[in-house]
């Protein structure tokens, strides 16, 4: 065949084949994705600080241990309210001309999945303490400390973000610990990671290989009410600890707390629902109830767990009582 003996013909034939392959393998699929995928309504673009935090997330190698994908298997229910879909990633773009690490879906879970970490853990103070020393909030953590992202000062300036660290986890530092701009940007990125709800009427993808009904009802108590211990573990334990003793100098104890044991539980309901920032020696508590859309019966279950655990012995509350207190708090806030 003359084709293989004529370098000019061979050049143009191979070039044409390359263009044809590029058209079918790269260009047409890209056009199809562009036409058929769009971000979900309500999706937000990363802010400048969140984008900078994403770059730090990449440079520090966080993707090596954390994924950002909720698979459609039952074991992934703890990471999100639904399996991930293509639209969850449609709004992500190249970081720069040279960088295409847009989605950071990851391939390994040495640490937890972070798809919905902004909703699971909305506390900036918790993230800062966790990054400074992970063992301060999770004793069994094998995550490395990122203490070099924090500064030491003799005294904090008015614009500084002071990180409240228990003395035993300071690693010998004696001065005030200040969050750098870089770590604040990283926390901003982590807090931006949240699953966007599907539009009304859209069928939600199902998790496969679900456990049996009997096994899935373990989050209910004997009277078919919500399990306060399980709800506490998923909403409160990361700060207040399994023992209810909190972390000295960071998160207040619930064991023996006057607010928890008060006969009038309105303050406790208000704190769970709307957060708390009244004590300088402790970190700000986020609005757990509001952020996680907790129902009155779930709030009551958490309160009853706190009021009857770790030696606490206060009267239990009902969902109806919590509902009335929520209405009273709402009216009070409206007047203010």
| Structural domains in the chain plus CATH codes | 48-192 (1.10.760.10), 212-335 (1.10.760.10)
pLDDT band at 238 (very low <50, low <70, confident <90, very high): confident
Measure CA 309 to chain center. Answer: 27
Cα-based distances in Å from 277 to 70, 201, 270: 33, 38, 12
2-46 pLDDT tens trace: 777 888 889 999 999 999 999 999 999 989 888 888 899 999 999
The span from the CA of 275 to the CA of 236, in Å, is 12
Share of the chain above pLDDT 90, in %: 56
Q: Is the pLDDT of residue 222 over 70?
A: no
Beta carbons within 8 Å of 214's beta carbon, 6+ residues apart: none
Quick one: which of 210, 235, 230 has its CA closest to 219?
A: 230
pLDDT at 272: 93
**d(Cα 259, Cα 269) in Å, to the nearest integer?**
10
**Does residue 262 have a pLDDT over 70?**
yes
Mean pLDDT highest for which of 49-53, 199-203, 204-208? 49-53
Which pLDDT does position 215 carry in this prediction? 47
Quote the pLDDT of residue 6.
Answer: 85
With cut-offs at 50, 70 and 90, classify the pLDDT of residue 214: very low
Q: Which two tokens stand for residue 239?
A: 């700060």
Of 193, 185, 195, 196, residue with least CA distance to 51: 185
pLDDT for position 64: 92
Mean pLDDT of the chain: 88
Q: What is the pLDDT of residue 51?
A: 93
Give pLDDT, residue 220. 56
CB 130: neighbour CB atoms within 10 A?
Answer: 22
């Amino acid at each position: 065949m003359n084709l293989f003996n004529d370098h000019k013909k061979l050049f143009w034939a191979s070039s044409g084949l390359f263009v044809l392959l590029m058209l079918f393998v790269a260009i047409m699929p890209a056009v199809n994705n562009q036409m058929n995928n769009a971000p979900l309504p309500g999706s937000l673009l990363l802010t400048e600080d969140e984008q900078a935090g994403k770059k730090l997330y990449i440079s520090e190698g966080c993707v090596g241990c954390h994924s950002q994908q909720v698979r459609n298997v039952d074991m992934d229910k703890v990471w999100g309210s639904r399996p991930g879909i293509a639209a969850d990633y449609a709004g992500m773009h190249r970081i720069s001309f040279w960088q295409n690490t847009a989605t950071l879906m990851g391939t390994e879970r040495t640490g937890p999945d972070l798809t919905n970490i902004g909703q699971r853990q909305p506390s900036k103070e918790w993230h800062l303490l966790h990054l400074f020393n992970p063992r301060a909030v999770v004793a069994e953590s094998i995550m490395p400390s990122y203490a070099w992202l924090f500064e030491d000062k003799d005294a904090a300036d008015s614009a500084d973000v002071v990180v409240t660290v228990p003395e035993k986890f300071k690693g010998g530092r004696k001065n005030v610990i200040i969050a750098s701009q870089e770590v604040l940007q990283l926390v901003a990125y982590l807090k931006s990671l949240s699953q966007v709800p599907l539009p009304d009427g859209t069928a939600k993808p199902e998790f496969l290989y679900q456990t049996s009904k009997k096994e899935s009802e373990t989050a209910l108590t004997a009277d078919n009410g919500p399990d306060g211990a399980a709800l506490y573990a998923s909403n409160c334990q990361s700060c207040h600890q399994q023992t209810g003793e909190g972390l000295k100098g960071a998160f207040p104890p619930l064991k023996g707390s006057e607010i928890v044991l008060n006969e009038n539980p309105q303050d406790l309901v208000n704190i769970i629902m709307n957060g708390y920032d009244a004590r300088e020696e402790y970190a700000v508590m986020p609005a757990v109830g509001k952020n996680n859309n907790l129902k009155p019966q779930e709030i009551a279950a958490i309160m009853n767990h706190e009021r009857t655990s770790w030696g606490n012995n206060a009267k239990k509350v009902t969902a109806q009582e919590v509902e009335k207190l929520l209405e009273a708090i709402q009216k009070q806030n409206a007047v203010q």
